[in-house]
Copies of this chain bind each other. A is one copy, B any other.
Amino acid sequence: MQKFKDGLAVLGGPQAEWPQNWSAVLGQARAKQEMLLGVDRGSWACLQAGFAPDLAVGDFDSVSGQELAQIEQAVPDRRYSKPEKDLTDSELMLQAAFFDYHLQKLTVLGATGGRLDHFLVNLLTFCQPMFRPFAERVTLLDRQNRLQFFLPGQHRLLPKSGYDYLGLAALQPVADLSIQGAKYDLPPFSSSYPVCFSSNEFLPGQSVELTFKKGLVAAIYSRD
């Protein structure tokens, strides 16, 4: 099994929602010798863009027989899922990424847009005890958003070029969530239900301090 430090995963969400320069994103990942992971139709998209995934996961019911044959020829590590299974295709990919390949960072394309049940699986997966320890290694990236997960603690968020807004979503009950240094600060806030604070902003040249004691928080960098 080849050794990789970081990885880029391509899921089966609609390409209209992928970063506009997604093909360049793949090329950059390859140039940095990152692992390329394809899930279902995402594997085929990688191949079409000229980059063979190192790992392909899925039941591949969304690709043709000919496309599957090409995937099978090009991809060294292939894992076939069954429709009735405990883990979704995306979760099987995450399992391989973190338990088998021990990736340190994973950027995920194709996790958003289209079917909301698919997106919610991709978002809520990191609340599961099995995947929660790896949450901070993951970034979901699409055309307008860059979503990172945070575990309880104190975190310094830096402004990122091209993103105007900062949303913070407590995906689980949260204790003493505070935001400091942003356009709209938040004094320690606790909630027994999930909640999303949208449309916050970085102040020019300033970082934002995010702290909380319990739960899982998604930081969403976004633009209109």
Contact = CB atoms under 8 A, between A and B. Distances in A.
A194 interface: yes
B147 A198 contact: no
Given A120-B220, A222-B116, A88 B198 contact: yes
Main secondary structure of the interface of A (DSSP, over half): mixed
A115 B169 contact: no
Interface stretch (A31-39, A66-74, A93-101, A121-129): A121-129
- The oligomer's copy count stands at 2
Given A116-B145, A117-B165, A147-B116, A193 B172 contact: yes
A76 interface: no
A180 interface: no
B222 A169 contact: no
Size range of the chain A interface in the assembly: 35 or more
Contacts of A198: 88, 115, 117-118, 120-121
Given A115-B165, A222-B115, A196 B145 contact: no
A169 B112 contact: no
Contact of A193 (B84, B127, B144, B195): B127
A124 B195 contact: yes
Interface in A156-173: 165, 167-169, 171-173
Nearest to A216: B193
Given A124-B195, A194-B124, A195-B128, A117 B169 contact: yes
A152 interface: no
Contacts of A116: 112, 142, 144-145, 147, 167, 220, 222
Interface of A: 16-17, 62, 84, 88, 112-118, 120-121, 123-124, 127-129, 142, 144-145, 147, 165, 167-169, 171-173, 184, 193-199, 218, 220, 222-224
6 contacts: A17-B113, A115-B198, A121-B167, A121-B196, A172-B193, A172-B194
